């Protein structure tokens, strides 16, 4: 039987696995499912239509599954927040459930959300992502596998962050960021590759890194427009999966429709006078 502190408020309709622990003054609403080994510390809140997998930690004053912060949201709409396994949500983290009937805000597994980080409605966060204190994701944003968003990074709604991308603290983007890239020093500025992360990644070989550098060069330093860059990358038939994912991301950006039809971040290079757009 779940271990529930006597001061916690747990709706009888919530489904709790036997090894769940719920601390003092925590709140669990109806239509919630919480998996084995998940811990809610004091004053944590899990709202209606939220599912938590196994081994999650929800720290004090975190609110998971809150109503979408969306003027168009209609009260009574059934939508969801679905969370995988072994995630850490530190103090004050907030994640909204989706807007739109039947829609989902999705968080993968093994993510780490530091204090006061936030994800809006309809966001997708893939496995092993890290959000540092105060990082925020606007509605419908998507953050790829093992990306790292440093303190106070802001990601605009409908924006995609590629896998293993990294955002420097106090920066932001309203444009898509390709996989393995670093964005820094202001808004919408890619300044290079996440070279440290690529060297540390056990699944990325030296040949993978060479191919990723070539993909970056074609995209940002060849002088080609995005469609021309994709055509040149399509001719690189010997590329492995890692560089192929970079190419796939560019293809997806070109084909994006509606509010997702956003450009890539521009490439900025360091110069004597500071960061300047490439070519200047």
Closest CA relative to residue 198, chosen from 188, 186, 209: 209
Domains of the chain in start order, with CATH, are 3-198 (2.160.10.10), 204-277 (1.20.1180)
pLDDT in the model for residue 279? 47
Cα–Cα–Cα angle for 276, 277, 278, nearest 5°?
A: 110
Structure tokens at 148: 């790292």
pLDDT in the model for residue 78? 98
User: Please, where are the H alpha helices in the chain?
Assistant: 195-200, 206-220, 226-234, 241-255
* pLDDT, tens digit, 9 for 90 and up, residues 76-130: 999 999 999 999 999 999 999 999 999 999 999 999 999 999 999 999 999 999 9
Helical (H) or strand (E) element with 12? none
* pLDDT, tens digit, 9 for 90 and up, residues 118-177: 999 999 999 999 999 999 999 999 999 999 999 999 999 999 999 999 999 999 999 999
pLDDT at 276 over 70: no
pLDDT band at 280 (very low <50, low <70, confident <90, very high): very low
Structure tokens at 85: 């396994």
Distance, in Å, from the CA atom of 187 to the CA atom of 81, rounded to the nearest integer, reads 29
* pLDDT, tens digit, 9 for 90 and up, residues 4-31: 999 999 999 999 999 999 999 999 999 9
pLDDT band at 185 (very low <50, low <70, confident <90, very high): confident
Structure tokens at 266: 């521009």
Distance, in Å, from the CA atom of 178 to the CA atom of 162, rounded to the nearest integer, reads 5
* pLDDT, tens digit, 9 for 90 and up, residues 40-59: 999 999 999 999 999 999 99
pLDDT at 206 over 80: yes
**DSSP string of 105-124?**
EEE-SS-EE-TT-EE-TT-E
Structure tokens at 223: 């002088």
Distance, in Å, from the CA atom of 262 to the CA atom of 157, rounded to the nearest integer, reads 11
Arithmetic mean of pLDDT over the chain = 96
Burial label for 33, CB within 10 Å (0-12, 13-18, 19+), is: middle
pLDDT in the model for residue 191? 95
Do 251 and 233 form a contact (C-beta atoms < 8 A)? no
């Amino acid at each position: 039987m779940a271990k529930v502190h006597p001061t916690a408020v747990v709706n009888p309709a919530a489904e709790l696995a036997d090894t769940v622990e719920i601390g003092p003054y925590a709140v669990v609403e109806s239509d919630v499912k919480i998996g084995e080994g998940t811990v809610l510390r004091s004053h944590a809140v899990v709202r209606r239509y939220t599912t938590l997998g196994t081994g999650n930690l929800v720290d004090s004053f975190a609110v998971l599954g809150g109503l979408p912060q969306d003027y168009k949201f209609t009260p009574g709409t059934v939508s969801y927040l679905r969370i995988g396994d072994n995630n850490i949500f530190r103090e004050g983290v907030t994640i909204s459930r989706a807007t739109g009937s039947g829609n989902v805000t999705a968080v993968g597994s093994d993510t780490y959300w530091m204090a006061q980080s936030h994800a809006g409605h309809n966001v997708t966060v893939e496995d092993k992502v890290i959000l540092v204190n105060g990082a925020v994701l606007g509605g419908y944003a998507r953050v790829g596998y093992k990306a790292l968003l440093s303190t106070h990074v802001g990601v605009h709604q409908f924006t995609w962050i590629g896998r293993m991308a990294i955002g420097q603290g106090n920066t932001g983007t309203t444009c898509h960021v390709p996989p393995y890239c670093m964005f820094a020093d202001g808004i919408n500025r890619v300044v290079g590759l996440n070279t440290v992360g690529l060297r540390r990644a056990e699944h990325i070989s030296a040949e993978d890194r060479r191919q990723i550098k070539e993909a970056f060069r074609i995209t940002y330093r060849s002088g080609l427009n995005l469609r021309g860059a994709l055509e040149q990358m399509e001719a690189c038939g010997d590329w492995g999966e890692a560089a192929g994912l970079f190419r796939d991301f560019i293809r997806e950006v070109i084909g994006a429709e509606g509010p997702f039809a956003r450009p890539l971040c521009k490439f900025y290079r360091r110069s004597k006078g500071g960061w300047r757009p490439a070519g200047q």
